[in-house]
Amino acid sequence: MSGMWTVKVVGLGVVALSLSVELLGWLLHRLRPKRTRTEVLFFPSEMACLEHIFAPSSPQSCCCPLPHGVETSFTRLVRCILSASSSLDVCVFAFSNMDLCKAVLTLQCRGVTIRVLCDKDYAAILGSQIGVLRRAGICARCDMGSVYMHHKFAVVDNRLLITGSLNWTMTAVQSNKENVIVTEDPNLSLEIQERSA
Of 99, 120, 151, 157, the catalytic one is 157
Task: Provide, rounded to whole angstroms, the least separation between the CB of residue 62 and a second copy.
Answer: 27
- Across 53-78, b (16+ Cβ under 10 Å) vs e yields beeeeeeeeeeeeeebeeebbbbebb
Instruction: Tell me the backbone φ, ψ of residue 122, rounded to 5 degrees.
Output: -75, -30
In the bound state with a second copy, the residue whose beta carbon lies nearer, of 37 and 110, is 37
Q: Tell me which residues touch a second copy (CB under 8 A).
A: 1-2, 5, 9, 12, 16, 20, 24, 27-28, 31-34, 38, 40, 42, 44, 93, 143, 145, 147-153, 163-166, 171-172, 175-179, 181, 183, 185, 187-188, 191-192, 195-196
152 catalytic? Reply is yes
d(CA 143, CA 149): 7
- Report CA dihedral (75, 94, 133, 140) to the nearest 10 degrees: 120
Residue 102 falls in the annotated catalytic set: no
Q: 157 and 87 in contact (C-beta within 8 Å)? A: yes
Q: How far is the CB of 68 from a second copy (least distance, A)?
A: 25
Query: CA nearest 37: which of 147, 184, 162, 170?
Result: 184
User: For a second copy, which is the closer residue by CB, 8 or 110?
Assistant: 8
Using the minimum distance from each CB to a second copy, give the nearer residue, 82 or 163: 163
Active site residue 157: yes
Please give the positions annotated as active site: 150, 152, 157
